[in-house]
Structure 1
């Protein structure tokens, strides 16, 4: 007799049914690939999930409970149908939700990069995965899988949100760090437009530290209703750079950081030197690409 499966076990192993994996991608799978890799490839190659579109249309207002979402700038009509890399500064755990809502308002359906820990959580993780979230296992040999999934998503016309810094920014003045070259290499290799996404305010909703303080800051945000500002800039100029040419990936990442920083300056009026919101749980161990938000005119 087969033992009954408990409800808890069903929840831990539940996944929404993914779309079919195209044959040309199925041939790329290896026996030692993790089981989620095939699912994410299939999701990346498919159009956005109808349920994700439904959530964005009907439930974006939930983010507004924690603050006033304000969106400036936009994405040109001609770019919305093709692949896009949306490069955002990362200021806290709540900002993916704010960015997703802002991009939906701008006519973009985001696929957001997320840490493997979040996507491995029961129920919530599988749902995020099915929306098109791309698993990033930083510092492991599985990190290359995120690159491949992202490439498939972009080749399939997806709108991928990535954080060039690779983590929540830790500069003392909270200006964006210079980031890594991974996004720059993707943009140069595939010729994909990079839209800078500058955002401010979401760090006031959830503190950095993972303790009960997150609930306190969330409750205060409901009462204080901070401004959750997002600015979508013009595409970063990369057409004079080439993949594989010495120094070009580095130049691209500095240009991306510069574009995000420039868009952030008007959002941080009165907070140029330090954030007005004090979060003692957030380390300050990094250096901003452009301290104080001062970007030189002659970026190479």
Structure 2
């Protein structure tokens, strides 16, 4: 199996525009590419510090010959032109209904069977941690991994937030910024593979994934991570949206879905 001809052609077309732009805006240092599994689909779990993270991660994966597939809000697929592009490159529409979540899981399985990389941000949204360390996670990546057996690849990246800070309204291209990216060994979830998908099991798997991502980020930053992971609920912050320091919930803005709707 593999990506369809039309999907690869569209990825190539988009790359012709995106890669030169990213290379002009960001110097890059990529490490750990040899740890990426080959000949199989994978779930890629990066940290999330700015809205342009998906472009940074997608650029990296595409350059490694891995077609990136993101979870995207179902409403985007009805937008003219954009929806057609998303369908062609097999991005995964996510709906909040049970039936919609099942369809999303089926689409994710198809992408994994095609040796694609499913990118899921285990934090569920941009980190709320004031120092931008990974915060408490959601269970979507763990659930998909335990249901499919696909390898989970932790990935940390740092520097893109200097170009486009979290929830910014404009880019800061001068002086030219630098992004560093580090891939870790696949997270070992083998002891949980046959366990019931209880909350305890999912929490254990999610914490392992985030522990791996946090360790990679600490290496990139040359700093020690906090002993306790930031918990937005405990801090009475909104789970989504720009104004997260206000109490309550807010509607998630359009863009890649990074929660655990699967």
TM-score (norm 2): 0.75
2:203 paired residue number: 250
Cα distance in 2, alignment partners of residues 282 and 204 from structure 1? 20
More off after superposition, 52-61 vs 122-131: 52-61
How has the CA–CA distance of structure 1 residues 57 and 240 changed in structure 2, closer, same or farther, with 3 Å as cutoff? farther
Match of 1:68 in 2: 27
Task: Determine the structure 1 residue equivalent to 2:8.
Answer: 49
CA RMSD of aligned residues (A): 2.9
When residues 171 and 62 of structure 1 are mapped into structure 2, their CA distance, relative to the original with a 3 A threshold, is same
**Does the CA contact (< 8 Å) of 1:185 and 1:243 recur in 2?**
no
Cα distance in 2 for partners of 1:85, 1:99 equals: 13
Deviation at 1:162, TM superposition (A): 1.2
CA offset at residue 208 of structure 1?
A: 3.7
CA–CA separation in structure 2 for the residues paired with 1:254 and 1:84: 18
Find the counterpart in structure 2 of residue 296 from structure 1.
none
Structure-2 residue corresponding to 1:239: 190
Conserved 8 A contact 2:146-2:193? yes
Q: 1:146 is matched with which residue? A: 104
Call closer, same or farther: CA 1:83–1:72 in 2, change over 3 Å.
same
Alignment partner for residue 128 of structure 2, among 170, 177, 181?
Answer: 170
Give the match's secondary structure for 1:96. Answer: helix
Q: 1:170 to 1:110 in 2, by over 3 A?
A: same
Separation (CA, whole Å) in 2 of partners of 1:115 and 1:224: 34
* 1:260 CA displacement: 0.6
Residue 144 (structure 1) shift? 3.5
**What is the 5 A alignment of 1:1-300?**
46=4, 48-56=7-15, 59-76=18-35, 79-137=37-95, 139-141=96-98, 142-209=100-167, 214-215=169-170, 218=171, 220=172, 222-245=173-196, 246=198, 247-269=200-222, 283=244
Match of 1:132, SS state, is coil
CA distance in 1 between partners of 2:246 and 2:115 (Å):
37
Q: Structure 1 residues 124, 140: closer, same or farther in 2, change over 3 A? A: same
Query: Can you give the 5+ residue segments of structure 1 that lack an aligned partner in the other structure?
Result: 1-43, 274-280, 287-300
Which SS does the other structure have where 2:181 is aligned?
strand
The Cα of 1:204 is off from its aligned counterpart by 2.7
Contact 1:171 1:285 in 2 (8 A): no
Q: Secondary structure at the match of 2:125?
A: coil
The answer as to whether partners of 1:87 and 1:194 remain within 8 angstroms in 2 is: yes
Equivalenced residue count is: 227
Q: Deviations over 1:24-76 (max 9, x none)?
A: xxxxxxxxxxxxxxxxxxxx984643221343367412112222122111144
In structure 2, the gaps of 5 or more residues are 227-241, 248-262
In 1, Cα distance between the equivalents of 2:4 and 2:205? Answer: 29
Q: Which structure exhibits the higher relative contact order, with contacts defined as CA atoms closer than 8 Å and separated by 6 or more residues?
A: 2
Q: 1:57 to 1:146 in 2, by over 3 A?
A: same
Determine which structure has more spread, i.e. the larger CA radius of gyration. Answer: 1
Deviation at 1:214, TM superposition (A): 1.9
C-alpha deviation, 1:193, in angstroms: 0.6
Instruction: Give the TM-score taking structure 1 as reference length.
Output: 0.66
